[in-house]
Amino acid sequence: MGYIGSMSPRLLLAGFGSFPAAPLNPSAAVIATLARESWAPVGAQIDYLTLPVQWQGAAETILRQLQTSPADGVLVVGVAVEAEAFRVETLGRNVASPERPDQAGRVWGSACVAETGQDVIAATGPCQAMASALETEGLPVSLSQDAGDYLCNFTLYRLLHAKAAPRVGFLHVPQARECAETAAFELAQIRQAVCAAAAAFCAELSRPAA
């Protein structure tokens, strides 16, 4: 599926649920609020998902959704608990933490995401446009080449490897004060960042193919 003529681009916006390091995950909190409000940039359509923090479950939830409702792009939002700025991930890496349990207590058991996959796959979302949008909002942001070795990188790599949608991107957000008193950002700022990134993503989807 792709943007054609005057058709509205469709973006799937997904956030992660709770896990031991983030009992209240700001990505899920923001996604849930936006979904209740049916928020969408002008001229675009947004589908919303909350993902389980599970090795076998997170990417599958997105892939099932795309089978029933294809999208032009997928933007996944995850929390980087120790981060002091927002990060737009530019690469999915074929690495996983083999012994780190997910929310269900299961481990992946392998140091790679896909045995036959390439080492790195470039994100196909509009990384620079998303980063620029956050800068315009006055939020600290960087382009990152390392999404870690847990479910965030795992899900990004799985989606890129499966070519789940024409454009796939990932935004890492810091923890929010409402979730951890020592965090530097309010949940409203997390929302601001997610909306800015999603709007920039949709704007790129709306550009006619060259």
pLDDT at 18 over 60: yes
pLDDT at 179 over 80: no
Contacts of 129 (CB under 8 A, 6+ apart): 200, 201, 203, 204
Residue spans of the domains in the chain: they are: 10-205
Between strands 73-79 and 167-173, the pairing is parallel
At residue 141, the pLDDT reads: 98
Percent above pLDDT 70 for the chain: 94
CA distance 161 to 34: 28
Is 208 buried (19+), middle (13-18) or exposed (0-12) by CB count in 10 A? exposed
At residue 176, the pLDDT reads: 86
What six digits make up the tokens of 80? 């980087």
Which residue, 62, 57, 82, is CA-closest to 151? 57
- Span 43-53, pLDDT tens digits: 999 999 999 99
- Span 157-170, pLDDT tens digits: 999 999 999 999 99
Residue 21's pLDDT band (cuts 50, 70, 90): low
Topology of domain 10-205 in CATH is: Aminopeptidase (3.40.630)
- Span 27-46, pLDDT tens digits: 999 999 999 999 999 999 99
Average pLDDT over residues 188-193: 96
